[in-house]
A = this chain, B = another copy of it.
């Protein structure tokens, strides 16, 4: 079942929350990737953003931060992970391990992680292809290539 069918949720509206988190991160001097975890009926369970720079913490990606903010849940199968950028393997692994049922992706032009792998595992994937997300990430990568490479585990001299 595609994302939002049950409750009539609009992926672009859900994406606004993640985008806002990414913009906050950018204003903080961080990597502009935001995420949010919603229940099937559209309740915001948690939101978050990449904090590598802000907290000097490489483990905080947008999706892991939103997942943490949502606290301990017993069943993720009906939840929706919304993220401004295609989830990396780390975040794809999170989604798969906890059985998050749906993922809304702002864009996958600047980076593609495990979205096909998730789709094959039965996760409902919706790619919004949002122009704001594309431009925000493209500009950031162009201006901060080393920081971006650090965030996706590409060694500096690669």
Q: Which of B52, B75, B93 contacts A93 (CB 8 A)?
A: B93
Q: In the complex where A56-B71, A67-B59 touch, is A152 in contact with B97 (Cβ < 8 A)?
A: yes
Q: In the complex where A91-B93, A114-B93 touch, is A99 in contact with B153 (Cβ < 8 A)?
A: yes
Is A143 interfacial (CB 8 A cutoff)? Answer: no
Q: Name the residue on B nearest A155 (C-beta).
A: B75
Q: Chain A contact residues: over half helix, strand or loop, or mixed?
A: loop
A113: which B residues are within 8 A, CB to CB? 97
Is A131 interfacial (CB 8 A cutoff)? Answer: no
Where the two chains meet, the residues of A that have a C-beta atom closer than 8 Å to any C-beta of B are 52, 56-60, 64-65, 67-68, 70-77, 88-94, 96-99, 113-114, 150, 152-156
